[in-house]
Copies of this chain bind each other. A is one copy, B any other.
Amino acid sequence: MRINHQRLWDRLMAMAEIGGTAKGGVCRVALTEEDKAGRDCFIRWCEAAGCIVEIDQIGNIFARRAGLDSSLPPVLVGSHLDSQPTGGKYDGAYGVLAALEVIETLNDHHILTRHPIELVSWTNEEGARFTPAMIASGVFAGAFSLEYAYSRVDKEGRLLGEELERIGYKGSLPVGNRPYSATLELHIEQGPILEMENKSVGIVTGVQGIRWYDLVLTGKETHAGPSPMRYRVDPVKAAVPVLNQLYALAEQYGEQARITIGYLDASPGVKNTVPGTLTISVDLRHPDDAVLSAMDAAFKGIVAAESLQSKVDFDLREIWYSPPVAFAPRCIQAVRNALKILDVPSMEMVSGAGHDSVYISRVAPTAMIFIPCKDGLSHNELESVEQQDATNGANVLLHAVLELAGGPAI
């Protein structure tokens, strides 16, 4: 049994039209009109495939296909439909639409599994508009309260809870406390490893730990011309040795360490004024929690040391910590077994990116499946995948779901 690759591809392209950008990317940021349109479209397809759709109080969409034994906990498959502001066509949407394609394929073959199967699209996975990322799967898994999620604010000062209501996706279903026998998420790798290793599918055995910080440096705002350099209290100048040592840390902690400065803002941001404040974001990742803790300590040590010898005030705020995750052996084995059936080049790997599956793995047995994306490029309008890899990933998902859902019951 194989999925219908053309139907999957056509839906990927149709979804990419919603919020589609001139450069071929997608801007379907969480709780915008585009996000609403993407959700509406997905729900139409789910209902046409015979699923029962429910929305929970944080806007997560669940679409259920009955099993032979409705008393058994379902197998959950899906990902997210929101995107980065300059995101690609596949990040999230591929996992959601491939899960739908699994249902369609089971329908085509008149197969009823023992366990029910549920599709899911999680709210605000990207964290581009409302931080933290993966907030809705986080609430689902008990990592955040619903009130905390509702109170998140975007750059324009709008509340997540109000935006959810505005687009009509504040559902009535309580968040969480839904038992699942297993969950699987199919996603693009968002990195270069599978492509470099010439593999079509990755068996994801766990996820890197992530630590987020905001570093706010406060100096003295003053005119660029008359102030001699030695009297300045310049936060940008003070940041340079911190950045320098930070990037050096990545080398020190080896191949698996990641350090990203994604956001910088100098205020007031005028050419002829020494800035009063500089804010930078810092994102540290490592798959080994002990190493990530060492990186965290080393970073704090750098900031403390620079702070001591500078008149600039250093305020290091810890925004988020997501510990490394090891996925469930039974779910990983189901993916391995599917790959034996399909004879597709594959490898085992750890995810470098965070995913909703990180939270979901706290409350249900979970694994992930990756396919390569071109040049490892993601969070980018030029993100692209080979159609054959998209097909292979969806077929692996199909057979892994079949095993976890108790195979063809009829």
Binding site for B on A (CB under 8 A): 84-86, 126-128, 131, 133, 189-193, 208, 210, 212, 220-229, 231, 234, 236-237, 240-241, 243-244, 247, 250-251, 255, 257-266, 268-276, 278, 281, 283, 285, 319, 351-354, 376-380
Contacts and interface: CB of A to CB of B under 8 A. Distances in A.
Given A126-B272, A221-B379, A276-B380, 4 more contacts: A226-B353, A229-B250, A229-B251, A271-B281
A191 B223 CA distance: 7
A126 B225 CA distance: 13
A354 to B, nearest CB: 7
Contacts of A278: 264
Contacts of A378: 222-223, 226
Contacts of A257: 229
A224 B86 CA distance: 14
A229 B243 contact: no
Contacts of A380: 220-222, 276
Q: Which of A86, A224, A262, A263 has the most CB of B within 10 A?
A: A224
A271 B225 contact: no
Nearest to A271: B281
Contacts of A379: 221-224, 270, 272-274
Given A262-B272, A262-B273, A208 B191 contact: no
Contacts of A243: 236-237, 240
Contacts of A210: 225
Nearest to A285: B225
A238 B240 CA distance: 12
Contacts of A265: 264-265, 269
A272 B133 contact: yes
Given A225-B190, A226-B190, A240-B240, A271 B263 contact: yes
